[in-house]
């Protein structure tokens, strides 16, 4: 197998990891105004993914860096043609990260509510725009003979890509709701489970429509087969949620996201950026770096990837227990004091461990 194909597959894996992991914290943050009844419950939701959200974003950074190094022509065309939506995503992620850090700096309800709005918008906007971006990548965009994007921002807002945005938005919301049923207790968990059952039919309808449209338009046998598996995993996740098997339901929603992402990359190959005129398309061959560059990158990936995966797996194992309002003090305290008194966390700190917590 050629190294260009290997790196195309590795980039696909990085995007799968990013959507799988960042998807649930996007979803949980988006649902915070719907699920939380007071500040303590909002802090519970934030604590469920507080120790891992920044680690989840590393997958995006590595995917972008790998694309730049392995397929510089793809990177240049993508970031010039999709400049405005990618800028909106970047700004949203920055505001979201700042909001996590500054939310608890003052004991003031209005202060916290303003940062909560930033967290919700900073999660919702990327969840929507990633689907729009990937919808356009798979569908194809207008490129010149020099592989330069010749459309505009509104060219990207076509029905197919907007449907793709609805798919990622609804799937991440469902993934986040199922995650909260796995990581919370009491009434908050019950509300998250009920909301997951409400979001599920919307996610199923959007995903089936998008994947069917992709299958008809692209006519890729493997892509269609993987899409069918993604739809089946989504249906199974709803059944498991209804049966109160939180852990397996979360696995199923994660499998749905991974399989849907894989189906898009399988449909895309060997193109990396299809053009409306197929002669102008970027492929794994004409967009790649030199063989020497890919070889060096491969050795770096082989040596470092197991270390990163081991560390992130250990992090998730340490912060695996459920969290409830009983772990959060009634009076809001600065984050450092709260961590000492409760063992809880805001983003970047360790949450309280419940020795009796378990999930099915």
User: What does the pLDDT read at residue 24?
Assistant: 95
Find the mean pLDDT for residues 78-90: 91
Helix (H, G, I), strand (E, B) or coil at 282: strand
Q: pLDDT value at position 239?
A: 93
H helices within 71-108, ranges in order?
A: 72-81, 83-102
Please give the pLDDT value at position 329: 77
Q: Number of C-alpha atoms within 13 angstroms, CB side, residue 51?
A: 23
Between CA 172 and CA 167, with CA 29 as vertex, the angle to 5 degrees is: 20
Confidence at residue 119, expressed as pLDDT on a 0 to 100 scale: 96
- Residue-range domains of the chain with CATH: 3-342 (1.20.1630.10)
Quote the pLDDT of residue 334: 53
Provide CB contacts within 8 A for 173, sequence distance 6+: 27, 30, 31, 127, 199, 203
User: pLDDT tens digits for 126-175?
Assistant: 999 999 999 999 888 999 998 889 988 888 999 999 999 999 999 999 99
Q: How many CA atoms lie within 13 A of 122 on its CB side?
A: 20
Question: Of the given ranges (66-75, 102-111, 160-169, 214-223), which has the lowest mean pLDDT?
Answer: 214-223
3-state secondary structure of 272: strand
- The mean of the pLDDT values for the chain is 88
Q: Which residues of 303-342 are buried (b: 16+ CB within 10 A; e: fewer)?
A: eeeeeeeeebeeeeeebebbbbbebbeeebeebeebbeeb
**Beta carbons within 8 Å of 191's beta carbon, 6+ residues apart:** 35
Tens of pLDDT, residue by residue over 290-336, are: 889 999 999 999 998 898 889 889 989 998 889 988 877 765 555 54
Work out the pLDDT band at 41, boundaries 50, 70, 90: very high
Average pLDDT over residues 97-103: 93
Residue 343 has pLDDT above 80, yes or no: no
């Amino acid at each position: 197998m050629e190294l260009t194909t290997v790196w195309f597959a590795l980039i696909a894996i990085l995007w799968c990891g990013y959507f799988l992991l960042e998807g649930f914290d996007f979803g949980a943050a988006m649902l915070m105004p719907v699920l939380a009844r007071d500040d303590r419950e909002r802090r519970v939701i934030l604590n469920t993914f507080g120790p891992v959200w920044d680690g989840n974003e590393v997958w995006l950074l590595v995917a972008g860096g790998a694309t730049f190094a392995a397929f510089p022509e793809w990177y240049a065309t993508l970031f010039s043609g999709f400049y405005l939506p990618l800028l909106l995503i970047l700004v949203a992620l920055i505001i979201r990260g700042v909001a996590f850090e500054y939310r608890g700096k003052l004991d003031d309800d209005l202060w916290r509510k303003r940062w909560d709005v930033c967290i919700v918008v900073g999660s919702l906007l990327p969840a929507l725009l990633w689907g729009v971006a990937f919808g356009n990548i798979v569908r194809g965009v207008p490129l010149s003979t020099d592989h330069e994007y010749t459309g505009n921002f509104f060219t990207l807002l076509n029905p197919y890509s907007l449907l793709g945005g609805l798919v990622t938005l609804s799937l991440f919301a469902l993934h986040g709701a199922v995650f909260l049923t796995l990581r919370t207790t009491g009434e908050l968990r019950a509300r998250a489970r009920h909301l997951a059952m409400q979001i599920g039919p919307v996610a199923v309808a959007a995903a089936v429509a998008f994947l069917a449209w992709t299958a008809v338009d692209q006519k890729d046998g493997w892509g269609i087969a993987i899409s069918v598996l993604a739809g089946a995993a989504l249906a199974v996740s709803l059944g498991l949620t209804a049966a109160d098997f939180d852990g397996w339901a979360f696995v199923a929603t994660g499998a749905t996201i991974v399989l849907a992402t894989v189906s898009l990359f399988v449909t895309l190959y060997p193109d990396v950026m299809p053009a409306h005129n197929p002669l102008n398309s970027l492929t794994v061959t004409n967009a790649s770096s030199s063989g020497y560059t890919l070889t060096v990158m491969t050795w770096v990936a082989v040596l470092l990837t197991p270390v990163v995966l081991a560390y992130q797996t250990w992090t998730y194992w340490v912060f695996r227990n459920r969290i409830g309002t009983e772990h959060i003090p009634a009076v809001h305290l600065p984050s450092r004091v709260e961590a000492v008194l409760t063992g809880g966390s805001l983003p970047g700190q360790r949450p309280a461990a419940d020795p009796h917590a378990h999930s099915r």
